[in-house]
Structure 1
Amino acid sequence: MTHISALERSWRILIATSTGDCGGLIQELPRYGHQVATVDTGRMAMKLSDRADLLLLDPDLTDFDGFAVCRSIRERHALPIIVITDRTSELDCVLGLRSGADDYLTRPFGIRELMARIESVMRRACPDPLVEAPSVTRCGSLRIDDMAREVTLYGRPIVLTRKEFDLLSLLSRRPGVVVPRQQILSEVWDGSWSQHTVDTHVSSLRAKLGSSDWIVAVRGIGFKLMPSAEISA
């Protein structure tokens, strides 16, 4: 199995700030291979937090105090959070960390310092995949355990039927590569069902994964599994 460390993965980073000065991050973070989305309210940060791998949080938001947003998100799941702020006092730093933030970074800061902080936080949050069983396959935030026949997305279990699991497992063996319909029918259904059966199960899988972006149809050929490319409302 190919070793991909936490530092080499592509993260989906949500930036929550109302100051309008995060343009540099929007330009720089993708150069390191990361996907970036921005919001300017605490409400949207909380709404989209379960679709991100990391949150960069400015406590000075237009609707809610950022530390309250941090506490609210932390109550629901363990999303890594780095506070980025102009607040330099020790008290603010303590409040931020006690609210559940994993790190606290004050402006001005350079992109290399930010990347070092991100790498440190994500290394703690995402253990090295080498410790996982060989039966485990990852595709973005999607984790498929063939031995246990379990699927999780953003850390949450996804309940699949036997054939839905078999189909997803087949597609996950070569993410981004088209699997022909005939191969799917042969390996999942022993060639005994119609192509309409494949379409029905693909539709069901898309619904359970919450987005049609996970399974892409290639007209006249088959289907391929792709990591979801965007953090969207």
Structure 2
Amino acid sequence: MDKPLNERIQAAIKAGKSQGVESLIFEAEAASKQAVADHDEARERALDPLLSDGEIAAARKAVEDASFIQERMTKAAAVLREKLGEFKEAEEQAQLTKIYKAAIAKRDAASARLKAEYRDLANKLGALLEEVAAADREVDAANYRLPAGGNRIMGVEQHARPGWHHSSRPLVRMDIPSFSRTGRPEMIWGRDNSIAGTRVFDPETTNAEKVHLTPKPRPGPARSPDALASPVGNSKQGEAA
């Protein structure tokens, strides 16, 4: 059995959620309209000159009750409409905050992985493309003048990639950006900006390699065995003093 409307309105406001509030607004407005009809009916009855004193008192109370209910339900509907806007705004902000935090978490995870893995992967891919390009140059040289009975040699990508066609973009033509442009060329694998426009592989120092690049303490100047036996400042003059 449903709880009374007043209790359900109070519970909805305390819950702070938009779900179900619109239906309560419709119920409150309907109750307000019904109270107006009840008020008019009770007032008409209260004016009947044939009523006894007890009946008149009951009719007047019904008029007052209906008027109070109408005012209360009108106010409840107004409050519910205001709260509905607040609840929806709070829920929207909560959803946006959830999306925002999830985006930051995914950004941080991807950023950490990119920082940890990109240099190694880029260097491996650049070295592979350098090998492919070198092999293709040898294939082109061999195809330039084939031996008797020799068939034209297929290029590396055409040989390795199923369905490869001359209209396909060759993998060796891609550019691989360096992780950081500070103090180095922009590309690990790319054009060398010369007239020939050949591809150049310039591997970047990886995170693992950077660990071994920490400068080691420089050794002091070489000292003779006599000097090691008689440290500076421990001469006879020093002893006499």
| Range class of TM-score, shorter chain | under 0.3
Q: Which has the higher contact order (CA 8 A, sep 6+)?
A: 1
The structure that is strand-richer by fraction is: 1
TM-score of the superposition, structure 2-length normalised?
A: 0.21
TM-score between the two structures when normalised by the length of structure 1: 0.22
Indicate the structure with greater helix content.
2
